[in-house]
Amino acid sequence: MELSSPGELAEALDAVGYLPDDGVATAAYLALTMRRPLFVEGDAGVGKTALARSLAAVLDAPLIRLQCYEGIDAAQALYDWDFPRQLLHLRAVEAASHGDSAGTSADAARLEGELYSRRFLIARPLLQAIETSPCVLLVDEVDRADDEFEAFLLEVLSDFTVSIPELGTIRADSPPVVVVTSNRTREVHDALKRRCLYHWVEHPSFDREVAIVRRRCPNASDRLAAEVTAAVQRLREEDLLKPPGVAETLDWTEALLALGAQHLDADTATRTLGAVLKYREDHDRIARGGLPHLLAEAVGGA
């Protein structure tokens, strides 16, 4: 798809159900045109992962996701050898040659070549992304991985080639679109960020968030969407351990819809508060500290 401005990309994203603000649209547009990875950082639940998914939909390309976790290494991120099949192959060759004269060293070399051929190679997300063109590669929650992995990722992201000692070098035809997300549980190394465009995602404005709720929960009435959004935005101003994100707004709306609520009142809100507040301290504090008052304030303002 040809896109000639951030505005056009914003419309395209809108069409697949993601409502970007100017910043996200410009960031994504530049990432696509400059062919640079996009490093997206922000609180949990502001739609970082959803952005990558929507970009894949806009480009009509597969989304390849690499979920990071502590201790992730090349065997889980890049490629691995299919050990059981290699063993089977080894035994099969043995059985076939049984009775022949003892294997020569040439046989051994040939056998080794067979064992380390492409058909015994398992492509993990990074190798898949290099071999699939075009595609969107999502490196999710890179802050959960450790320093060693970051250095390794940096190497792959800088030239999109993978060298496998037994096979040779595999190069991407055209570099994939890369979205790297971080929840900021720790600072990611500067060298990695320097390769990327950096975007800090804020919570959306009231109007945008209402639009997102309307889009993602089509069954919710205008009134419900506006009231839930107003309440969540009001909750974000409170001094909470975990301020609710857009994901929580959607969860809350779903929860209220499941109860058949047409609008937000103190009773239904108290019963469904667990969809928005995920810490006992936050829950207690809001439930004790006058939820009806807070709701009246938020809903009255909406």
Partner 1 sequence: MAPDRPSDSTDTVVGLARTLRAAGVDASPDRVHALMSALSLLDPALRADVYWAGRLTLCSSADDVRRYDRVFAAYFGDRPAALVRRPVAPAAQLKLVSMSAGDEGGPAPDTDDEASAVPAAASRTEILRYRDIASLSASDRMLLARLLAAFALPGEARRTRRTTPGRGSTVDRRRTLQQLLRSGGEPVEIATRVRRLQPRRVVLLVDVSGSMSAYADALLRFAHAASHRLRGPATEVFTVGTRLTRVTREMAHRDADVALRAIAEAVPDWSGGTRLGDLVKHFLDEWGQRGMARGAVVVVLSDGWERGDPTMLGEQMARLHRLAHRVVWSNPRAGRAGFAPVAGGMAAALPHVDEFVSGHSLAALERLAALVAGARDPAASGHIRPIVASRRLAHA
For every residue of 61-81, DSSP letters joined together read --EEEEE--TT--HHHHTEEE
Least distance between partner 1 and beta carbon 255 (Å): 25
Among 11, 14, 36, 285, binds partner 1 (CB under 8 A): 36
Structure-token match 């929580």, residue found: 248
Q: 74 — phi, psi (to 5°)? A: -55, -35
Interaction of residue 29 with partner 1, rule CB under 8 A: yes
Interaction of residue 271 with partner 1, rule CB under 8 A: no
Interaction of residue 112 with partner 1, rule CB under 8 A: yes
Interaction of residue 118 with partner 1, rule CB under 8 A: no
Interaction of residue 259 with partner 1, rule CB under 8 A: no
Name the DSSP letter for residue 188: P
Task: In whole angstroms, give the CA distance from residue 178 to residue 65.
Answer: 10
Among 50, 121, 170, 197, binds partner 1 (CB under 8 A): 197
**Binding segment for partner 1 among 10-18, 48-56, 68-76, 245-253 (CB under 8 A)?**
68-76
Helices (H), the chain: 6-15, 22-34, 48-59, 74-77, 83-96, 105-115, 125-131, 147-159, 190-194, 206-216, 222-237, 246-258, 266-272, 280-288, 291-301
Among 110, 171, 194, 223, binds partner 1 (CB under 8 A): 194
Interaction of residue 108 with partner 1, rule CB under 8 A: yes
Interaction of residue 34 with partner 1, rule CB under 8 A: yes
Neighbours of 45 (CB within 10 A): 20
Interaction of residue 23 with partner 1, rule CB under 8 A: yes
Between 118 and 184, CB nearer to partner 1: 184
Length, in residues, of the chain: 302
Residue type, 286: I
3-state secondary structure of 254: helix
The burial of 147, by beta-carbon neighbours within 10 Å (0-12 exposed, 13-18 middle, 19 or more buried), is given as: exposed
Interaction of residue 27 with partner 1, rule CB under 8 A: yes
Among 11, 30, 221, 254, binds partner 1 (CB under 8 A): 30
Binding map of partner 1 across residues 201-240, x = CB under 8 A, - = no contact: ----------------------------------------
Least distance between partner 1 and beta carbon 85 (Å): 11
Name the DSSP letter for residue 202: P
Among 198, 289, 293, 296, binds partner 1 (CB under 8 A): 198
Q: Is-contact 153 142, C-beta < 8 A?
A: yes
Interaction of residue 6 with partner 1, rule CB under 8 A: yes
Interaction of residue 293 with partner 1, rule CB under 8 A: no
Task: In whole angstroms, give the CA distance from residue 245 to residue 66.
Answer: 23
Residues touching partner 1, count (CB under 8 A): 46
* Contact set with partner 1 (CB under 8 A): 6, 22-23, 26-27, 29-30, 33-34, 36, 41, 69-73, 81, 83, 86-87, 90-91, 93-94, 103, 108, 111-112, 115, 143, 146, 148, 183-187, 190, 193-194, 197-200, 241, 281
